[in-house]
Amino acid sequence: MQVNIKTLIDDRQCYETVRELRWPEGCQCPFCDSKRVIKRGFNEKEPAKQRYACKDCGKRFDDLTDTIFAGHHQPLKVWILCLYFMGLNLSNRQIAQELDLDRTDVQKMTTQLRESVVKKSHQ
Ligand SMILES: [Zn+2]
């Protein structure tokens, strides 16, 4: 019998990890950097994904807005596991095997993760 780590990981914990990574000092608007941000419930399809609205610029965003995880075809937990395996110094080949992914996909993911999880498009 084989244990698949993907089934052991909790989505809420993954989103919590993203928040800690991108906003170590508390949630901030990705458009104007304001900290006057209110929570606006959760995403319908992904109940662990928190949505926000900025009280200064009025724009709306969520946990993944402006991160490398947004709009990607891999679920967030795959990214978080990738990050975890990188911390264990696994090779791209080992990570690919562990997550049942293509090695070139893993290569792209680890490269992006090493640079930054937040895109710098608004700065
Ligand atoms: Zn704003």
pLDDT digits (tens, 9 = 90+) for 7-21: 888 999 999 999 999
Residue 77 lies in a domain: yes
pLDDT at residue number 123:
46
Instruction: Assign 33 to helix, strand or coil.
Output: coil
Measured in Å, residue 107 CA sits from the centre of ligand 1 at 34
Measured in Å, residue 32 CA sits from the centre of ligand 1 at 4
Measured in Å, residue 63 CA sits from the centre of ligand 1 at 14
H-helix segments, 23-102? 76-87, 92-99
Residue 64 lies in a domain: yes
Q: d(Cα 82, Cα 96) in Å, to the nearest integer?
A: 9
Residue 120 lies in a domain: no
Contact 49, 64 (CB under 8 A): yes
Closest CA to 106 of 90, 118, 95: 95
Residue 121 lies in a domain: no
Measured in Å, residue 37 CA sits from the centre of ligand 1 at 8
Q: Which domain holds residue 28?
A: 5-115
pLDDT digits (tens, 9 = 90+) for 29-66: 999 999 999 999 999 988 999 999 999 999 999 999 99
Q: What does pLDDT average to over the chain?
A: 92
Residue 122 lies in a domain: no
Residue 27 lies in a domain: yes
Domain count for the chain, please give it.
1
* Residue 121 banded pLDDT, cuts 50, 70, 90: low
